[in-house]
Structure 1
Amino acid sequence: MPVSFELAVPMFITIWFVVLFAILPIGIHSQRESGTYVEGTDPGAPVNPQLLKKALLTTVASLIVFGVLMVVLWLCGWGAA
């Protein structure tokens, strides 16, 4: 691996959160859009956010992005002693 474990973990966590924030708005419909407004809640609140599905999708996508990054770093010779 072109980077140490101590560097790889924070890199993966950063990639995971960036990908999560990119995936979160996909497929979201607000209460106002769907017409199922619940009294006392914000009309812009999502009806069904599907957070578990998005967390799993984020993890898979992050593993792919992290793997590609590690391959690129390895091919460039970064971290080689």
Structure 2
Amino acid sequence: MPIGPITMLAIYLVCWWTVLFAVLPLGTSKERHEPPTDGAQWGAPEKPDLKRKFITTTWVSFLVWLLVMALVFIGWMPLPDLAPPV
């Protein structure tokens, strides 16, 4: 195994946050014709639907993580060896 489980988890978390910022704007519209009266911002979506976006982020980032792990294991994307020489 070329990398350990902590490194795999770290790569998954990086994938998850990257995919989250790609998924957040999906399904939102800025069409608001009247000024917000409840203290909300003009650009804030009326229904953010964050639970669905977090679930979508989780499975899409899992697929991205699998692709990255496949590339690491077949050697197309080698990770540097950061251990000091013995």
Band the TM-score falls in, shorter-chain normalisation: 0.7 to 0.9
Distance (whole Å) between structure 1 residues aligned to residue 6 and residue 23 of structure 2: 27
**Alignment size in residue pairs:** 77
Compute the displacement of 1:73 (Å). 0.9
Partner SS for 1:13: helix
Q: TM-score, normalised by structure 2?
A: 0.77
Distance (whole Å) between structure 2 residues aligned to residue 48 and residue 36 of structure 1: 16
1:38-63 deviations in Å (ceiling 9; x for gaps): 30321211111110101000000010
Aligned to 1:35: 33
Distance (whole Å) between structure 1 residues aligned to residue 61 and residue 8 of structure 2: 12
Q: Quote the RMSD (CA, aligned, Å).
A: 2.0
Aligned partners of 2:16 and 2:58 also within 8 Å: yes
Distance (whole Å) between structure 2 residues aligned to residue 43 and residue 72 of structure 1: 43
Aligned partners of 1:2 and 1:70 also within 8 Å: no
Which runs of structure 1 show a deviation greater than 3 angstroms over 4 or more consecutive aligned residues?
34-38
Distance (whole Å) between structure 2 residues aligned to residue 10 and residue 38 of structure 1: 40
Higher relative contact order (CA 8 A, sep 6+): 1
Aligned to 2:82: none
Segments of structure 1 that go 5 or more residues without pairing to the other structure are: none
Counterpart amino acid of residue 44 in structure 2: A
Q: Could you say which structure has the larger radius of gyration?
A: 2
Residue identity over aligned pairs, in percent, reads 30
Q: Which has the higher helix share?
A: 1
